[in-house]
C-alpha cells in the first residue's frame, strides 16, 4: 500500500522532470506545437494517476483500512536521525485527494488558458513539481521530510508567480513571496529542531507521542506558527499573497488559494496534539486569526482587481480556519479547508475565464457578463454563495461548523475572536455581492487591452470550461458531508448577517449601478484599498534599512576591513623606506658608521670592563 503513496508523490515529480527536459527534444527539430502537446501529456497524465492513487488511499481510509506507513531509509546525521518515510492517515488521505483533484483540474484548464504561451512546458512542469512537493508535505511521516516539501512548494510558487518575468512587477512579486515565506520558514525550522531534539526523533508519530514539557511545546509551536503564518498568509506575514496574483490565474487557483496556502492550516492540524497542549500558542493564533479575517475582508471590499478581491478573501478564509484551530476544532478547520479548496479554486478558474474573455483584471472593466458567459456565471454564483456561506453551497456548512466551534470555545481571546468572526461573515457577504453584481450584472463596460495584446471578447476554449463545471459540483455539494453536525442556531445567525452585508451592497448598487458600492466605506476606503498601508510600513522598517545596511557594509569592507590590510601593506613599505635611507650606496657613510660602531664598542669595553 505504501507503494501507492510513493507512486503518488513520485509520478508528478517524474512528470516535471520529463516536461522540463523532454518536451523540446530533439532541439531544433521539435515544433512548438509538438513540444506543447508533449508537455501537456507529461503534465496531465501523472497527476491523473496520482489523483486515482490518492482517492484509492482515501477510500481505504474511509472504510477503516488503517494507516499506511513506511520508512524508506534512516539517514544518520550524527545526532537525531532523519527517517525518510511516508505516512497516510485519515487527514493526509483527505487533503491528498483535494490536492490531486485541484491540481488535475488546473492542469487541464491550463492547457487551454496557456494556449498561446511559448513557455507552457516549463509552466506545466513547475505545477507538477509543486503537486509532488505538496503531496510530500501531506504524506510525510517525518518533520524534516515535510520541511523539504514545504520549501520546494515555496520555490514553485516563486517560479510560477514570476512566470511572466518580462514584467518587472511580476518578478518583484515573486521575490517578495519567496522572501516573506522564507522568513517564516526559519522559525518553522527552529520549531522542528525544538520538537525533534526534545523528542529524540523527527518522526511525527514519535514527536506526538513523546511526553514533552509544556514550556518546550509552547516554544516549539510558537516557532512553527511563524512558518504557518508565512505559508498560509496570516497576519503579519500575509503581504505577499495579494501581490502573488501577478502569476497566471490557474496558479492563483491552485497554489495561492486551494492548496499551498492551506498547507499551514494542514500542518497545525497534523501536529494538533502538540498545539492543544500549548494554550498560549492557541491564544496567539486566535488573536492573529481575528485581526486577519476582519482586516482582509475589509481590504477585499475595497479592491478593484478581481483577483485581488479573491486573494484577500483567501487570507480572510484561511484566518477563519486558523480561528477554528485556535478554538480547538481541527475538524471544523479541515472541513472548511476542503470546501474552501473546492470553491476558491472554482472562483479563480471562473475569474480566469472572465479575465480571458474581457482582457482585463479590473472589475470596473467588467459588467453584464451574465449573458456572454452563462456557464461561468452559474459556476461563479455557486462559488460566491459558498464564499458568503449561503445555503445550500458547501461553504454554508463548513463556515457554520467554524462559527459554532468558535462560539463554544473558552479561551481568553474567545469573545474577540467570535466578534470578529461574525463581523467578517457580514463583510464577506458584502464583498461577494459586490464582485458578483459588478461582474455579471449592469451594463457592459469597455475592456482595456490585456497583456497578450487582445481587446476582449476572446472565445473561451472548452478545456477551460470543463474544469469549471467539474469543480462546481463539489463546491456545491461537498458541504452535505457535514449536514448532520449542523448547528441550526448559529447557522441562522450567520446567514442573516451575511445576507445583511449582501443586502447593503445590493441596495447601494440598485441606487447607482455605475458606481462602486465600496463607497459605503467612506473615508475608510483608501486605507482598506491599500490594506492598511502595511506594505509601506514594511518597506520603511525592513527593506530600506537592510539595503542601507548592505551599502554600509560594502563601504566598511572597502575602507575599514580591507583598509586595515592595505594600510599594513603601506606601513611595511613605509617602514622599509626609512630603513632604506641607511642603504644609500655611499661608501663614506658606511665606513663612518663602521668606525662609529667600533668606537662605541671600544668605549663600552673600557667603561663596563
Partner 1 sequence: MSWIPIAMLAVPLLGAAALLLPRFAGGPSHRYGLAVSGVTLALAVVLVAAFDYGDAARTQFATDLPWIPGLALRFHLGVDGVSLPLVVLTALLTFLCFVHLAGRPPHRPRALVFTLLVLETGIIGTFLALDLLLFFVFFEVVLVPMYFVIAIWGGPGRRAAAVKFILYTLLGSAVLLLGLLVVWAQAGTLDMVALARGGGAGIARSAQIAAFLAIGVGLAVKAPMWPLHTWLPDAHTEAPTVGSVLLAGVLLKMGTYGFARIAIPILPEGAAAVAPWLGALAVVGIVYGSLACLAQRDLKRMIAYSSVGHMGFVLLGFATLTPVGVNAALFGNVAHGLITGLLFFLAGAVKDRYGTADMERLGGGMLRRLPYIGSLLTFACVASLGLPGLAGFWGEMLALFGAFRPAAALSRPLFLVFMAIGGLGTVLTAAYFLRMLSRVTHGSPAVPEGPPVTSAEEIREILGDEGPVEPVAAGTAVTAAVAEESAAVLAPPAEPVGGRAALRDVTAYELAAWVPLVVLTLLFGLWPKSLLAITTPAVQAILSGVGS
Q: Which residues lie near partner 1 (CB under 8 A)?
A: 73, 75-80, 82, 144, 147-148, 150-152, 155, 158, 162, 165-166, 168, 170-172, 174-175, 178-179, 182-183, 186-187, 189-190, 193-194, 197, 546-547, 549-551, 553-554, 557, 561-562, 565, 569
State the Cα–Cα distance between residues 61 and 93, nearest whole angstrom.
7
How far CA 307 is from CA of 32, 310, 352, 434, 453, in Å, comes to: 30, 5, 9, 14, 20
Provide the minimum distance between the beta carbon of 473 and partner 1 in the complex, in angstroms, as a whole number. Answer: 35
Measured CA to CA, the distance from residue 524 to residue 535 in angstroms comes to 17
Nearer to partner 1, 455 or 559 (CB): 559
CB of 257 to partner 1, least distance (A): 23
Closest separation between CB of residue 74 and partner 1, Å?
8
Closest to partner 1 by CB, 410 vs 551, is 551
Residue found by looking up cell 544518520 in the block: 76
> Which CB, 510 or 548, lies closer to partner 1?
548
Q: Per DSSP, what are the bridge partners of residue 87? A: 69
Q: How far is the CB of 420 from partner 1 (least distance, A)?
A: 31
CB of 272 to partner 1, least distance (A): 24
Return the exposure string of 481-491: e unless at least 16 CB atoms fall within 10 Å of the residue's CB, then b: ebeeebbeebb
State the nearest-atom distance from the C-beta of 138 to partner 1, in Å: 16
Residue 99 class from Cβ within 10 Å (0-12 exposed, 13-18 middle, 19+ buried)?
buried
392 by Cβ neighbours in 10 Å (0-12 / 13-18 / 19+) ranks as: middle
Q: Grid coordinates standing for 423?
A: 463581523
The Cα 164–Cα 166 span in angstroms is: 6
Could you tell me how many helices (H) and strands (E) the chain has, helices first?
25, 2
> Which residue's CB is nearer to partner 1, number 54 or number 219?
219
Shortest distance (Å) from residue 135 CB to partner 1: 14
Of 245 and 405, CB closest to partner 1: 245
Q: State the minimum distance, in angstroms, from the CB of residue 212 to partner 1.
A: 15
Closer residue to partner 1, CB minimum distance, 78 or 459: 78
The smaller minimum CB distance to partner 1, of residues 73 and 608, is found at: 73
Is 546 or 581 the residue whose CB approaches partner 1 more closely?
546
The neighbour count for residue 313, using CB atoms within 10 Å, is 28
**Smallest distance, Å, CB 185 to partner 1?**
9
Q: Using the minimum distance from each CB to partner 1, give the nearer residue, 246 or 300.
A: 246
Enumerate long-range contacts of 554-563, CB under 8 Å, 24 or more apart.
none
What residues contact 16, with CB distance under 8 A and at least 6 apart?
Answer: 125, 126, 128, 129, 132
**Helices (DSSP H) in 359-487: which residue ranges?**
374-388, 394-408, 414-440, 462-477
**Cα dihedral sign for 452, 299, 253, 133?**
positive
Give the shortest CB-158-to-partner 1 separation in angstroms: 8
What are the Cα distances from residue 23, in Å, to 8, 27, 109, 116, 120? 22, 9, 19, 16, 10
Between 33 and 551, whose beta carbon lies closer to partner 1? 551
Give the DSSP H or E segment for 89.
Answer: none
In the bound state with partner 1, the residue whose beta carbon lies nearer, of 133 and 369, is 133
Distance CA 281, CA 230 (A): 16
**In whole angstroms, how close is the CB of 495 to partner 1 at the nearest point?**
44
Amino acid at each position: 500500500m505504501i507503494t501507492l503513496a510513493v507512486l503518488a508523490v513520485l509520478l508528478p515529480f517524474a512528470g516535471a522532470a520529463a516536461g522540463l527536459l523532454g518536451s523540446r527534444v530533439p532541439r531544433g527539430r521539435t515544433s512548438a506545437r509538438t513540444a506543447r502537446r508533449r508537455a501537456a501529456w507529461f503534465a496531465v497524465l501523472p497527476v491523473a494517476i496520482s489523483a486515482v492513487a490518492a482517492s484509492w488511499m482515501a477510500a481505504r481510509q474511509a472504510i477503516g483500512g488503517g494507516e499506511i506507513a513506511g520508512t524508506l531509509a534512516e539517514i544518520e546525521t550524527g545526532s537525531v536521525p532523519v527517517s525518510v518515510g511516508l505516512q497516510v492517515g485519515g487527514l493526509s488521505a483527505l487533503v491528498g485527494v483535494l490536492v490531486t483533484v485541484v491540481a488535475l483540474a488546473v492542469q487541464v484548464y491550463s492547457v487551454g488558458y496557456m494556449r498561446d504561451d511559448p513557455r507552457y512546458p516549463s509552466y506545466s512542469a513547475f505545477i507538477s513539481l509543486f503537486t509532488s512537493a505538496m503531496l510530500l508535505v501531506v504524506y510525510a511521516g517525518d518533520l524534516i521530510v515535510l520541511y523539504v516539501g514545504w520549501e520546494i512548494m515555496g520555490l514553485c510558487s516563486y517560479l510560477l508567480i514570476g512566470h511572466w518575468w518580462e514584467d518587472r512587477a511580476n518578478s518583484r512579486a515573486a521575490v517578495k513571496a519567496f522572501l516573506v515565506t522564507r522568513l517564516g520558514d526559519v522559525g518553522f525550522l527552529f520549531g522542528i529542531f525544538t520538537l525533534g531534539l526534545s523528542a529524540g526523533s523527527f518522526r511525527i508519530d514519535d514527536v506526538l507521542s513523546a511526553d514533552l514539557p509544556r514550556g518546550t511545546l509552547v516554544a516549539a509551536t510558537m516557532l512553527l506558527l511563524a512558518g504557518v503564518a508565512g505559508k498560509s498568509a496570516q497576519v503579519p506575514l500575509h503581504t505577499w499573497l495579494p501581490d502573488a496574483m501577478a502569476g497566471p490565474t490557474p496558479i492563483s487557483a491552485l497554489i495561492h488559494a486551494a492548496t499551498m496556502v492551506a498547507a499551514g492550516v494542514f500542518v497545525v492540524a497534523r501536529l494538533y496534539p502538540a498545539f492543544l497542549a500549548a494554550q498560549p500558542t492557541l491564544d496567539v493564533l486566535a488573536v492573529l486569526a481575528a485581526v486577519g479575517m476582519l482586516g482582509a475582508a475589509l481590504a477585499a471590499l475595497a479592491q478593484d482587481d478581481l483577483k485581488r478581491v479573491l486573494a484577500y478573501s483567501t487570507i480572510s478564509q484561511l484566518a477563519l480556519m486558523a480561528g477554528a484551530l485556535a478554538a480547538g476544532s481541527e475538524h471544523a478547520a479541515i472541513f472548511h479547508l476542503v470546501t474552501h479548496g473546492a470553491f476558491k479554486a472554482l472562483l479563480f478558474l471562473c475569474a480566469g475565464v472572465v479575465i480571458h474573455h474581457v482582457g482585463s483584471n479590473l472589475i470596473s472593466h467588467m459588467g453584464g457578463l451574465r449573458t456572454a458567459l452563462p456557464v461561468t456565471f452559474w459556476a461563479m454564483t455557486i462559488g460566491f454563495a459558498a464564499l458568503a456561506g449561503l445555503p445550500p453551497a458547501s461553504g454554508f456548512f463548513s463556515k457554520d461548523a467554524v462559527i459554532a466551534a468558535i462560539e463554544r470555545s473558552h479561551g481568553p481571546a474567545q469573545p474577540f475572536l467570535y466578534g470578529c468572526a461574525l463581523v467578517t461573515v457580514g463583510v464577506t457577504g458584502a464583498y461577494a455581492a459586490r464582485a458578483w453584481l459588478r461582474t455579471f450584472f449592469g451594463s457592459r463596460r469597455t475592456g482595456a487591452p490585456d497583456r497578450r495584446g487582445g481587446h476582449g471578447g476572446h472565445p473561451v476554449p472548452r478545456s477551460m470550461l470543463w474544469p469549471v463545471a467539474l469543480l462546481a459540483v463539489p463546491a456545491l455539494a461537498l458541504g452535505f458531508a457535514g449536514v448532520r453536525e449542523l448547528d441550526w442556531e448559529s447557522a441562522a445567525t450567520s446567514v442573516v448577517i451575511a445576507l445583511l452585508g449582501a443586502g447593503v451592497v445590493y441596495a447601494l448598487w440598485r441606487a447607482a449601478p455605475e458606481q462602486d458600492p465600496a463607497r459605503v466605506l467612506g473615508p475608510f476606503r483608501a486605507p482598506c484599498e491599500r490594506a492598511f498601508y502595511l506594505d509601506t510600513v514594511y518597506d520603511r522598517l525592513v527593506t530600506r534599512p537592510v539595503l542601507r545596511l548592505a551599502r554600509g557594509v560594502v563601504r566598511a569592507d572597502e575602507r575599514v576591513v580591507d583598509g586595515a590590510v592595505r594600510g599594513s601593506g603601506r606601513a611595511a613599505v613605509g617602514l622599509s623606506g626609512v630603513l632604506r635611507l641607511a642603504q644609500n650606496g655611499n661608501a663614506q657613510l658606511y665606513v663612518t658608521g663602521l668606525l662609529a660602531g667600533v668606537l662605541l664598542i671600544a668605549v663600552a669595553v673600557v667603561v663596563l670592563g
